[in-house]
Amino acid sequence: MKAFVVNRYNKKGILRLAEMPAPNVGDSDVLVEVHAAGVNLLDSDLRTGKFKLILPYRRPFILGHDMAGTVVRVGSKVRKFKPGDDVYARPRDGRIGTFAEFIALDEADVALKPKNLGMEEAASIPLVGLTAWQVLVERANLKKGQKVFIQAGSGGVGTFAIQLAKHLGAAVATTAGAASADLVKGLGADVVVDYRKDDFEKVLSGYDVVLNSQDAKTLEKSLNVLKPGGKLISISGPPDPEFARAKGLNLVLTLLTRLLSRGIRAKARRHGVSFSFLFMAAQGDQLTKITALIESGAIRPVVDRVFPFEAANEALAYVGTGRAKGKVVIKVR
């Protein structure tokens, strides 16, 4: 099968289009013919080797963390899916590889595709949808009437998280440029801070939750918008000891995460708030709940551009510019 692979870690490196063996299908696996694959900053970061200590893939490996497609074969223990089902998923760490014609996934990571979405739209959802769900529902336990600040509202996670937060009944603030203000307002943002003109920490206050997706400076400034007892949840780092324990990292890496996050954890304690790092996980049951929200009309996908399969490198480069509004997708089939 054709697939885009990482041969070596390189900040300026490109993916190689290669012929790769068809995936092995285990007893609990579903083999999916990939129709479309979402493109994420995580893909760019993984290609450069940013996460090689915690995600030690053996090269060459196939890149890609989002997909939608059709089941062509199932393992002997699979009960939820059958050949012909249209599905979507974020494959679990260690089994990524959606920039390919086929992928084998654990049944537990897969959900039926929303009936009201095409393949390209569906492929844009899993990673950002699960990230938003795990931050706002699982970690923050966001409630009706609370206030949440979601950074970078026009990005992939932002466009989904704004809609999910509004569905949960929260008041939403976000940052966006003037060109994206109408987009994020249309998704449900109540307050839009133009990051080019205004400093959000001087405009916002009394928030229950912050979803941080930006750099270390922005992370520290976010402490100032939270009320006592608030929650600062970062998806862009630094990793904390709880993450290390959940991942089962070795002692050296656990100590490293403690050192990397020591400063922000101490500052959070002084502000009377909590800090935690979230690295989203594959979860088919949560994706099924997201499917229900999409089919009900509560959440809609936001897709910026769809690239042909052969242009996977161009799609990654475009994501890397930071200018995409919503998600970028590769059409595989």
- Residue 280 · residue 236 · CB < 8 Å: no
Continuous H helices in the chain: 41-48, 119-123, 126-133, 156-167, 181-187, 200-203, 216-222, 241-247, 251-271, 284-296, 312-320
Supply the pLDDT for residue 13: 74
Each residue's pLDDT expressed in tens, for the chain with a length of 333 residues? 999 999 999 877 789 999 999 999 999 999 999 999 999 999 999 999 988 888 989 999 999 999 999 999 999 999 999 999 999 999 999 999 999 999 999 999 999 999 999 999 999 999 999 999 999 999 999 999 999 999 999 999 999 999 999 999 999 999 999 999 999 999 999 999 999 999 999 999 999 999 999 999 999 999 999 999 999 999 999 999 999 999 899 999 999 999 999 999 999 999 999 999 999 999 999 999 999 999 999 999 999 999 999 999 999 999 999 999 999 999 999
In residues, how long is the chain? 333
Q: How far apart are CA 208 and CA 173, in angstroms?
A: 11
Listing DSSP states for 156-169 in one string gives: HHHHHHHHHHHHTT
Measured in whole angstroms, the distance separating CA 274 from the mean position of its chain's CA atoms is 22
Q: Name the residue among 51, 66, 58 with its Cα closest to residue 8.
A: 58
Residues 6+ apart with CB under 8 A from 146: 169, 170, 171, 208, 209
- Please, is 277 exposed, middle or buried when counting C-beta atoms within 10 Å of its C-beta (0-12, 13-18, 19+)? buried
CATH tag for 127-277 (out of 3.40.50.720, 3.30.1300.10, 3.10.20.90, 3.40.50.1820): 3.40.50.720
Supply the pLDDT for residue 53: 87
The identity of residue 208, as a single letter, is D
Supply the pLDDT for residue 186: 98
- Residue 145 · residue 190 · CB < 8 Å: no
Domain covering 2-125+301-331: architecture: Alpha-Beta Complex (3.90)
Domain range list for the chain? 2-125+301-331, 127-277
